[in-house]
């Protein structure tokens, strides 16, 4: 007997394969990742949709900066933005349920948790089961890798900073959130958010629980 | 090419043995879904395609399989293929550099090189491109918005400005720098260097390094055309000016705009020369694409490829445009497949063949890729048409019959210009016919000098070569040409190019509105032109159609016994079972009505009760 959760995963894989064939969504770069720059719901235009093989997908907003929400299930129905969709303006449809949401200004701050620098998107790099975003924050260049946690219970965001002074502290000051929990394995929580002292590399995990069976 | 060289070429070539050009539809794999929006070749000759599905595909040779280099982009509309490992792409939000850094033949690294323009969720916010000059600078065009955006302001890139620059228009510049030409330096600096663009869906660099763009008919754009785009130019559409440094709301008037307007170097009259021009490319094939080396080819969204010859007059570009492919579905000089609709991108291959990237999805069009090769036959064409001090100098690809010259010259030259106004396009206005007082055909029949008294700057000159014959008795493959005379060799320069402002109390209608106002006789005359351009190839000039295909209006009276509503629906939506394309987005409604009026007048029975229902 196949467990219901396993059956569900298999159906999701079949759906993903069908989606690739029909153009509902498709892989870019390493076949393990699904990528779309498109009109995402509740995000700036040309934001990212990134889907992992484990059925976890997230929206990365290239204007606000950062992960805006995470959903679980299928990937996207992109029919509304394809060439024969006509002149209608309609965001794509998420083929799953949102399990985490984060709003507000871009949360990464250098030196002063009350003041953030402008987020300027500079590019991305595709890896095996991970994507690395590159952006400028003031004088610093940040590389942020987003990958699924091995047990499927969340995402890990690994930040690498270039251009920061040696003793500078960094904060992750999250805005309003719902549906999950942020965990900083090597940071500490203070009144403003998560603090990382004199760190050039640090990680933040987004926990939203394992898929219910 | 010298005359001697031409005569030698004509002697060597098997004149008449070959058609001239062969069109081949490239079979694409199902996973490459079409919507071709970028065509380029790497220095090694690998064909690289961008698609409106956000993908980049490569094929190393004709025999090699297609492979996907990248995906997930946001509707790319142009590319520069540096190598099999590095491709630059213009997609909606950015100029991106795509690199394969690990040798697996797929892009893994995507670097943003330029992004300094606003963006909202408006579907019409495109980034057209792409060209790179010898210094490594990239050039592209930021389109206008088509209508009001709807998302909350927080979901945009940049701050929205909804106030019209001058007056309400159909296309708007709600987000920063929409309607501007951009230069993106190798260091990543975006320079907004020319304004006034509407939907400049074609960017090209001449062999001399001059930048050209095409734009389409619309508000402030009387007709389509090829623009020479230089620093600080204003190309007509007022909306973009709101982002110009020093802009003061309320400071501009239509006259101020018109006096600053840099009109197209070459006008493409709407209809005869297409409806939606795409990418311009230069034939640098040194004769491998036939006799037009050095000239410019431009795709159009209708099934049309244009040919342009540029001429510098008083230091400024202007010139002539001809139909090249597509104005007849089965001309004697074309073999192979039919030219498909939806052509927006062109690229010359290393072997001198011309590739056409086609897309559907903007109302009509077809998905696909076609390849045009020259088979050595020389079609009868006007090779060159240039302005002289007293008229025009022409060259032909085949010797012309001197006995047919009087009939041609007797028609004179029709001249017209357009309104410059916020209305959607302009009908031709101030039409007159200038006489051709003298034609000096060379002894070899390959060139001619026309004397046209009364030459004036600021007009489009329409040449009708239907009555001219080659020495062999043939007609020209494309017997029409349109010369744009913004300037004369005497130094006369027309402000506003081939436009003027509407006069006080003049009821200046846009192009579409003007069609709706035509009197019945004029409507039939307009419909006759439309029929000749878009219908006669299948339905035949005499209306007898094609057996098993296009309707025979003469012998099958049931065809036109249908109601106007039914027939207009067929024209607009096409008849899939008969292979009739949809003309709904190709022809304005006024032209659809005009062609129906012509069908009724030319082939139909008197009005029936059913028709009037």
* Residues B326 and B346: beta-carbon distance below 8 Å: no
pLDDT at B610: 39
> In this complex, do A28 and B125 lie within 8 Å of one another by their Cβ atoms?
no
Low-confidence ranges of chain B (pLDDT < 50): 1, 9-16, 606-613
ipTM: 0.88
What is the separation of C-alpha A64 from the centre of its chain, rounded to a whole number of angstroms?
Answer: 12
Residue B129's beta-bridge partner residues? Answer: B140
Residue B416: CB atoms within 10 A of its CB come to 20
Tokens of A161: 């900073």
> Could you tell me the end-to-end alpha-carbon distance of chain B, in angstroms, rounded to an integer?
61
User: CA nearest B158 in A: which residue?
Assistant: A63
Distance CA B404, CA A89 (A): 56
> In this complex, do A83 and B123 lie within 8 Å of one another by their Cβ atoms?
no
User: Which helix (H) or strand (E) segment is A154 a member of?
Assistant: strand A154-162
Tokens of B252: 């501009």
Q: Is A133 helix (H, G, I), strand (E, B) or coil?
A: strand
Segment among A13-17, A18-22, A137-141, B388-392 with least mean pLDDT: A18-22
Q: Is B160 helix (H, G, I), strand (E, B) or coil?
A: coil
> In this complex, do A23 and B53 lie within 8 Å of one another by their Cβ atoms?
yes
> In this complex, do B119 and A45 lie within 8 Å of one another by their Cβ atoms?
yes
> In this complex, do B108 and A125 lie within 8 Å of one another by their Cβ atoms?
yes
> In this complex, do A122 and B112 lie within 8 Å of one another by their Cβ atoms?
yes
Residue A17: CB atoms within 10 A of its CB come to 10
> In this complex, do B361 and A87 lie within 8 Å of one another by their Cβ atoms?
no
Report the mean per-residue pLDDT for chain A: 85
Of B35, B74, B155, the CB nearest to A83: B35
For B154, residues 6+ apart whose C-beta sits below 8 A from its C-beta are none
Tokens of B72: 């997930």
Distance CA B84, CA B57 (A): 11
State the pLDDT confidence band at A131, using cuts at 50, 70 and 90. Answer: very high
State pLDDT tens for residues A48-107: 999 999 999 999 999 999 999 999 999 999 988 888 776 656 899 999 999 999 999 899
> In this complex, do A63 and B91 lie within 8 Å of one another by their Cβ atoms?
no
* Residues B199 and B142: beta-carbon distance below 8 Å: no
* Residues B307 and B296: beta-carbon distance below 8 Å: yes
Q: At what angle do helices B564-573 and B589-603 cross, to 10 degrees?
A: 120
Distance CA B529, CA B535 (A): 10
Residue with tokens 């016994």: B561
Distance CA B270, CA B426 (A): 9
CA A121 to chain B, closest CA, distance in angstroms equals: 8
**Chain A residue numbers touching B55 (CB-CB < 8 A):** 26, 28
pLDDT at B574: 78
CB-based burial label for B589 (10 Å; 0-12, 13-18, 19+): middle
Residue with tokens 């349109």: B482
Of B33, B123, B155, the CB nearest to A87: B123
* Residues B344 and B355: beta-carbon distance below 8 Å: no
User: CA angle B532-B538-B542, nearest 5°?
Assistant: 60
Residue B63: CB atoms within 10 A of its CB come to 6
Of B31, B124, B155, the CB nearest to A44: B155
Tokens of B518: 């035509």
DSSP secondary-structure letter at B576? G
Of A46, A85, A134, the CB nearest to B93: A46
CB contacts < 8 A (A, B): 111
**Chain A residue numbers touching B53 (CB-CB < 8 A):** 23, 26, 82-83
CB-based burial label for B473 (10 Å; 0-12, 13-18, 19+): exposed
CB-based burial label for B15 (10 Å; 0-12, 13-18, 19+): middle
User: CA nearest A21 in B: which residue?
Assistant: B31
For B391, residues 6+ apart whose C-beta sits below 8 A from its C-beta are B436, B438, B449, B450, B451, B452, B455
Q: Is B3 helix (H, G, I), strand (E, B) or coil?
A: helix
Reduced 3-state DSSP string for B420-471: CCCCECCCCEEEEEECCCEEEECCCCCEEEEECCCCCCCEEEEEECCCCCEC
> In this complex, do B112 and A26 lie within 8 Å of one another by their Cβ atoms?
no
Of B71, B74, B123, the CB nearest to A46: B74
> In this complex, do A28 and B71 lie within 8 Å of one another by their Cβ atoms?
yes
Q: Which residues of A touch B (CB under 8 A)?
A: 21, 23, 26-30, 34-39, 42-46, 62-63, 81-85, 87-89, 91, 121-127, 134
> In this complex, do A123 and B111 lie within 8 Å of one another by their Cβ atoms?
yes
pLDDT at A84: 74
pLDDT at A90: 83
State the greatest distance between any 2 C-alpha atoms of chain B, in Å, as a whole number: 73
Tokens of B6: 């031409």
DSSP secondary-structure letter at B535? I
State the number of CA atoms in the 13 A half-sphere of B214 facing the CB.
Answer: 33
**Chain A residue numbers touching B103 (CB-CB < 8 A):** none
pLDDT at B608: 44
Of A36, A44, A123, the CB nearest to B156: A44
Of A29, A82, A121, the CB nearest to B112: A121
**Chain B residue numbers touching A126 (CB-CB < 8 A):** 107-110
Q: What is the pTM of this model?
A: 0.87
Query: What is the layout of strands, in order, in the sheet containing A56-60?
Result: A34-38, A47-51, A56-60, A67-77, A93-102, A177-178
Distance CA A143, CA A132 (A): 6
Distance CA B431, CA B417 (A): 7
For B610, residues 6+ apart whose C-beta sits below 8 A from its C-beta are B561, B562, B563
> In this complex, do A63 and B156 lie within 8 Å of one another by their Cβ atoms?
yes
- Of the candidates B470, B129, B469, B478, the residue with the CA atom closest to the CA atom of residue B306: B478
* Residues B346 and B508: beta-carbon distance below 8 Å: no
**Chain B residue numbers touching A35 (CB-CB < 8 A):** 71-72
State the pLDDT confidence band at A19, using cuts at 50, 70 and 90. Answer: very low
User: Measured between alpha carbons, how far is residue B531 from residues B69, B334, B343, B542, B600 in Å?
Assistant: 43, 21, 21, 11, 12
User: CA nearest B108 in A: which residue?
Assistant: A126
User: CA nearest B111 in A: which residue?
Assistant: A123
> In this complex, do A89 and B150 lie within 8 Å of one another by their Cβ atoms?
yes
CA A12 to chain B, closest CA, distance in angstroms equals: 20
């Amino acid at each position: 007997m196949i467990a219901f959760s396993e059956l569900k995963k298999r159906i999701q894989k079949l759906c993903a394969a069908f989606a690739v064939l029909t153009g509902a969504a498709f892989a870019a770069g390493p076949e393990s990742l699904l990528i779309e720059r498109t009109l995402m719901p509740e995000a700036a235009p040309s934001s990212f949709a990134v889907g992992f093989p484990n059925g976890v997908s997230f929206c990365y907003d290239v204007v606000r900066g950062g992960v805006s929400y995470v959903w679980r299930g299928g990937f996207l129905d992109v029919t509304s933005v394809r060439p024969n969709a006509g002149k209608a303006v309609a965001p794509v449809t998420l083929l799953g349920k949102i399990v985490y949401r984060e709003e507000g200004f871009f949360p990464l701050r250098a030196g002063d948790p009350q003041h953030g620098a402008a987020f300027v998107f500079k590019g991305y790099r595709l890896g095996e089961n991970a994507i690395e975003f590159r952006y400028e924050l003031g004088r610093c260049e940040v590389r942020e890798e987003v990958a699924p946690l091995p047990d499927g219970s969340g995402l890990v965001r690994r930040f690498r900073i270039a251009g920061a002074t040696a003793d500078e502290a960094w904060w992750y000051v999250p805005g309003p959130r719902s549906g999950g929990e942020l965990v900083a394995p090597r940071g500490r929580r203070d009144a403003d958010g998560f603090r990382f002292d004199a760190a050039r590399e640090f990680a933040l995990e987004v926990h939203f629980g394992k898929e219910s069976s | 090419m010298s005359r001697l060289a031409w005569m030698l070429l004509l002697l060597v070539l098997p004149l008449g043995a070959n058609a001239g050009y062969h069109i081949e539809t490239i079979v694409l794999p199902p996973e490459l879904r079409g919507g071709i929006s970028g065509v380029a070749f790497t220095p090694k000759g690998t064909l690289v395609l961008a698609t409106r599905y956000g993908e980049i595909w490569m094929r190393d040779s004709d025999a090699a399989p297609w492979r996907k280099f990248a995906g997930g982009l946001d509707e790319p509309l142009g590319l520069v293929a540096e190598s099999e490992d590095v491709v630059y792409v213009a997609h909606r939000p950015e100029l991106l550099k795509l690199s394969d850094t690990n040798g697996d033949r797929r892009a893994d690294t995507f670097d943003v090189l330029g992004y300094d323009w606003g963006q909202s969720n408006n579907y019409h916010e495109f980034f057209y491109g792409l060209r790179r000059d010898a210094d490594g600078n990239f050039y592209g065009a930021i389109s206008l918005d088509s209508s009001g955006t709807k998302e909350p302001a927080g979901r945009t890139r940049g701050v929205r400005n909804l106030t019209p620059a001058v007056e309400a228009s159909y296309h708007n510049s709600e987000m920063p720098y929409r309607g501007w030409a951009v230069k993106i330096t190798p260091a990543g600096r975006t320079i907004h260097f020319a304004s006034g663009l509407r939907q400049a869906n074609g960017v090209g660099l001449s062999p001399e390094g001059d930048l050209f763009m095409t734009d389409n008919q619309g508000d402030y754009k009387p007709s389509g055309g090829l623009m020479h785009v230089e620093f600080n130019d204003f190309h007509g559409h007022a909306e973009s000016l709101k982002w110009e440094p020093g802009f003061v709301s309320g400071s501009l008037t239509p006259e101020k705009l018109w006096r600053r307007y840099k009109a197209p170097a070459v006008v493409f009259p709407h209809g005869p020369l297409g409806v939606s021009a795409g990418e311009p490319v230069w034939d640098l094939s040194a004769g491998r694409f036939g006799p037009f080396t050095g000239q410019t080819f431009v795709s159009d969204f209708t099934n049309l490829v244009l040919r342009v010859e540029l001429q510098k007059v008083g230091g400024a570009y202007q010139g002539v445009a001809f139909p090249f492919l597509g104005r007849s579905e089965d001309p004697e000089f074309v073999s192979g497949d039919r030219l498909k609709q939806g052509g927006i991108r062109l690229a010359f291959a290393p072997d001198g063949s011309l590739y056409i990237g086609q897309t559907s999805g903007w109302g009509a069009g077809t998905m696909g890729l076609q390849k045009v090769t020259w088979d050595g036959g020389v079609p009868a064409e006007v090779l060159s048409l240039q302005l002289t001090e007293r008229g025009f100098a022409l060259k032909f690809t085949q010797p012309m019959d001197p006995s047919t010259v009087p009939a041609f010259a007797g028609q004179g030259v029709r001249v017209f210009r357009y309104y410059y106004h916020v209305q959607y396009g302009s009908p031709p206005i101030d039409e007159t016919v200038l006489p051709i007082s003298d034609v000096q055909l060379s002894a070899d029949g390959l060139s001619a000098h026309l004397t046209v008294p009364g030459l004036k700057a600021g007009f489009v000159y329409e040449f009708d070569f239907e009555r001219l014959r080659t020495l062999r008795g043939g007609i020209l493959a494309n017997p029409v040409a349109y010369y744009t005379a913004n300037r004369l060799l005497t130094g006369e320069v027309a402000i506003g190019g081939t436009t003027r402002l509407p006069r006080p109390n003049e009821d200046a209608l846009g192009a579409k509105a003007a069609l709706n106002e035509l009197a019945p006789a004029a409507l039939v005359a307009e419909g006759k032109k439309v029929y000749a351009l878009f219908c006669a190839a299948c339905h035949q000039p005499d209306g007898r159609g094609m057996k098993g295909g296009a309707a025979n209006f003469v012998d099958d009276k049931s065809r036109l016994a249908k109601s106007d509503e039914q027939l207009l629906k067929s024209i607009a939506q096409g008849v899939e079972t008969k292979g009739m394309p949809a003309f709904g987005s190709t022809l304005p409604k006024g032209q659809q009505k005009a062609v129906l009026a012509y069908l009724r007048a030319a082939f139909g029975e008197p009005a029936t009760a059913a028709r009037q229902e």
